[in-house]
Amino acid sequence: MKKDTEAVSDFRVNVDRRELFTKMVTGSVAMVAAGASTAAAAKGMEISSQSGTDFPESHDSAAWAFTSHDGGLASNGKSGHRWAMLIDLRKCVGCQSCTVACKFENNVPDGVFRTLVADIELGRFPDTRRGFLPRLCNHCERPSCVEVCPAGATWQRQDGIVVMDYDRCVGCGSCVGACPYDARFMNPVTGTADKCNFCAQRVDQGLLPACVETCVGGARQFGDLADASSAPARALRQDSVQVLKPQTGNQPSVFYIGLPDALQNNIRGIPDLWSQQRIAAGKAATAWQVKE
């Protein structure tokens, strides 16, 4: 009986300690949350007073507050820079590390991609070979997607990166059809258009895009065309570089080394996928579907 009584006593002590610890943690969290809420509200009021607009209640509100605080870096970019990507197809092994890294970094839903590596058979049997073609938004000097957007949801930053405001996008898909590189898609989760943004959130902080950082063969290189020592700038001076569909006049900022002639103007996309993506995004399908 004595042992049982001691056991019950110890149990009660342990329970009381747990309850006390729980109350202490809960109280501390509540105090921190209250302080953070007050600070955020004060910061929101400060930003609101500076911008002359109400603090937006949306999934992009945190990013909006950040870019307002730092002078519009996320939306305007850094003047004096011109970011570009160089892809050396001689080094690409088709491992898809870039594809996976992009999905993790940018929370890209299943079935759609901001970047991918097409696995293509070149030539005719029996003279065939395997080729890889990394694909992404080309961040054109003259982006056709910007011109057709009726909501002003897509624009080009001062440093050449083409970005989107997903709160403004109405999901009409005009930009998807206007892109000659099949680089845009309808996001089935957000119901808006989506695309690669050169990982601007990383580039603005001095980091490389996720796809470049994880490229095991070093096939992807990223740099500033305004910097003569950067890899893209050096390649334009020293190597024979190509771009996809040069006849469009979009002037891409994604350059290739070793791009086969068979692929330069014949990007293998799936045009009719647009309608399927619109359905997945909760939009009405188009009345027509282009077949390959």
Cα–Cα distance, 177 to 185 (Å, whole number): 9
pLDDT at 279: 64
Whether 176 is in a domain gets the answer yes
Give me 149's structure tokens: 């957007």
**Statement to judge: residues 50 and 92 lie in one domain:** no
Indicate whether 41 and 151 sit together in one domain.
no
Q: Name residue 44's amino acid.
A: G
The single residue listed with the structure tokens 């970047």 is 115
Per the domain annotation, does 288 fall within a domain? no
Note whether 51 and 99 are same-domain residues: no
Residue at 254 is within a domain: yes
Q: What is the pTM of this model?
A: 0.71
Whether residues 141 and 15 fall in one domain: no
CATH number at residue 170: 3.30.70.20
Q: Rounded mean pLDDT of 156-179?
A: 94
155/17 same-domain check: no
Question: What are the C-alpha distances in Å from 249 to residues 209, 243, 246, 252, 266?
Answer: 26, 11, 6, 9, 16
In tens, the pLDDT along 234-267 reads 999 999 999 999 999 999 999 999 998 888 887 6
Stronger pLDDT, 1 or 74, i.e. the higher one: 74
- Considering only 27-31, 49-53, 185-189, 271-275, which range has the smallest mean pLDDT? 49-53
Do residues 118 and 89 share a domain?
Answer: yes
Q: What is the pLDDT of residue 266?
A: 74
Are 109 and 219 members of one domain? Answer: yes
Domain hosting 46: range is: 2-55
Whether 63 is covered by a domain: the verdict is no
How many domains does the chain fold into? 2
Same domain, 42 and 101: no
The answer on 219 and 191 residing in a single domain is yes
Q: Do 201 and 125 share a domain, yes or no?
A: yes
Asked if residue 127 and residue 12 are part of one domain, the reply reads no
Same domain, 222 and 274: yes
> Which of the pair, 238 or 125, is modelled with greater confidence?
238
Q: Is residue 70 part of a domain?
A: no
Q: Is residue 224 part of a domain?
A: yes
